[in-house]
Structure 1
Amino acid sequence: MIELFFVTCLSADPSQCRDRSLVYADEIGVMTCMIRSQSELAEWIERHPAERVREWKCRILGEDGRTA
């Protein structure tokens, strides 16, 4: 499974950040995730106007590391 891993921070306080994750249930590759994630993140930003996406990446689910 492929995971879209991203970090969001509050617009009013950029030091307040959270790791977030979206797991794709269908069998896609990392390259497809990179393309699909752009629209996923745009929709996420619309639903969460007080936050900004700082970093993001696609990776295999369970891959070690906490930052994008």
Structure 2
Amino acid sequence: MIKIIAVLCNVSSPTNCHEQTVTTADFASVSMQSCLMRAPQLAAWMKEHPAKRLAAWRCVIGKQDGRGA
């Protein structure tokens, strides 16, 4: 399974950022190639979270390693 770890910042406080796994059921069929090519599902996820700004993301195989931003 490919997981997408996003670095999200608050729109109202741009220096307040954190890492979050944004993998949902919609991401179940994401390949590593599509993840690296801007993850189309990520754009849809961001539309549902307008108070957040996407600063960066990375694609990982398997479970998240628990590191913070």
TM-score by length of 2: 0.68
CA RMSD of aligned residues (A): 2.5
2:64 and 2:11 mapped to 1: Cα distance?
Answer: 28
Structure 1 unpaired stretches of 5+: none
**Pairs aligned (count):** 66
- TM-score, normalised relative to structure 1: 0.69
Give distance in 2, aligned partners of 1:49 and 1:29: 25
Structure 1 distance, partners of 2:65, 2:48, is: 28
Percent identity, aligned pairs only, is 35
Deviations 1:13-34 (A, max 9, x none): 01211211116545x6421332
Residues 1-53 of structure 1 show CA distances to partners (whole Å, capped at 9, x for unaligned) of: 21111110001101211211116545x6421332472x212112211111101
Structure 2 residue runs without a partner (length 5+): none
